[in-house]
Amino acid sequence: MDEGYTCSRCGAPLNVTPETIVSVCEYCGYPSIISGIVSPEDIYILSSLPRSSVEKAFWEVVESDFDLRRIRKDIVIHDIYGVYIPVWISKVHLRGRVSYYYYRHENKSRRRIYKVVSVSRRILVPLLARKQVTLLGAKEALNKIHEKILKKYSKKLVEVSRENWRKIKLEVLNTEYDKKIASERIREDALDILRERFKSKGTIDGFDVKVIGADDPKLYLIPLWQVYYRYKDAIYSMFFAGWDLGLLVKTEPVITLRRVLYLIGALAAIATAPALTLLIFKSEEVELGYFFLPLMAVGAAYTLSELIIRDMRVER
């Protein structure tokens, strides 16, 4: 903590590091600009639900989960921890053309289908305002953000009263990108987001899209809750979106029943691979794509065999 920085609203000392752009007072919630290009009027917060609601949401997930409800009596909450993650968000206008192709199976043939799409759209682009965020759940929280959520749950941080801040207060992670850097990064990310959307449709063979405009980015504090829970001698975790407590991602133990299911699946895949190979070579007419089926069966057997020996799995 640097004692030279104090809150301009209540005078409390601020926690500041060399990379801090904005410091939010832990006592009254008022944002102070330490460096860079940021305006307090451009900082918004998605109010978080309280810790008690997070604990309730955790047990609801346990009861509804195929694996966890079978070991519920042995699960103990170790800790519940909440933070606000700083995220720059802007709308970016993209325009251009994208060409891609995919394959369509018709009877016993395969036909390549070409598409050329004219693009003119505005997309919402979030950018973590930190150089390094290793916290599991952060990326999942950003993927869940859309305009309706921002409109419903967010408000300007400068309008949050001290009394309200006490109810929604969580630790605020440092903001390390100012508006200028965020604007540049968001424009680059917008093109990457659009490219990934077209990749899900097929193989891109032409991408001529440009950014023709972008709104000024706003800084949002996004609440993220993590529940650490203990099962036997290991610690696992669940991550929840703080504004509505939707489950984002969780780690959980691999129970005996699931190991048995993995084993059955692996044995079935091992048995299927040679049977498919024999069937292909006995057939008079075989499409080239069918030769990949035995390889897929072998790959499935390998993946399931690997899962059998794991002690933890991640579920989104």
Per-residue pLDDT tens digits for 60-101: 999 999 999 999 999 999 999 999 999 999 999 999 999 999
pLDDT in tens, 239-257: 999 999 999 999 998 877 7
End-to-end Cα distance, the chain: 37
Buried b (16+ CB within 10 A) or exposed e, 123-140: eebbbbbbeebebbbbeb
Q: 3-state DSSP helix/strand/coil percent for the chain, to nearest 5?
A: 35, 35, 25
Residue whose C-alpha is closest to residue 39's, from 131, 168, 158, 171: 158
Q: What is the DSSP letter of 200?
A: T
pLDDT at 105 (0 to 100) = 75
Q: What pLDDT, in 10s, does the model give residues 294-313?
A: 778 778 877 767 767 677 77
Closest among 239, 277, 262 to 308, alpha carbons compared = 262
Residue 300's nearest CA partner among 257, 275, 277, 266 is 266
**What CA–CA distance (Å, rounded) separates 74 from 64?**
16
Work out the angle between the directed axes of helices 256-282 and 292-308 (0-180°, nearest 10). Answer: 160
CA–CA gap between residue 193 and residue 247 (Å, rounded): 23
- Nearest residue to 182 via CA among 215, 154, 156: 215
pTM over 0.75: yes
The maximal CA–CA distance of the chain, rounded, in angstroms, is 84
State residue 1's pLDDT score. 41
Q: Which amino acid is at 201?
A: K
Confidence label for 121 from pLDDT (cuts 50, 70 and 90): very high
Distance CA 98, CA 121 (A): 13
| Six token digits for residue 103 | 């394959």
- 220/222 Cα distance (integer angstroms): 6
**How far apart are the C-alpha atoms of 46 and 26, rounded to whole Å?**
16
The tally of CA atoms less than 13 A away on the side-chain side of residue 206 is 13
Q: Which residues pair with 214 in a beta bridge?
A: 92
Is residue 286 scored above 60 in pLDDT?
Answer: no
User: Which tokens go with 93?
Assistant: 């206008």
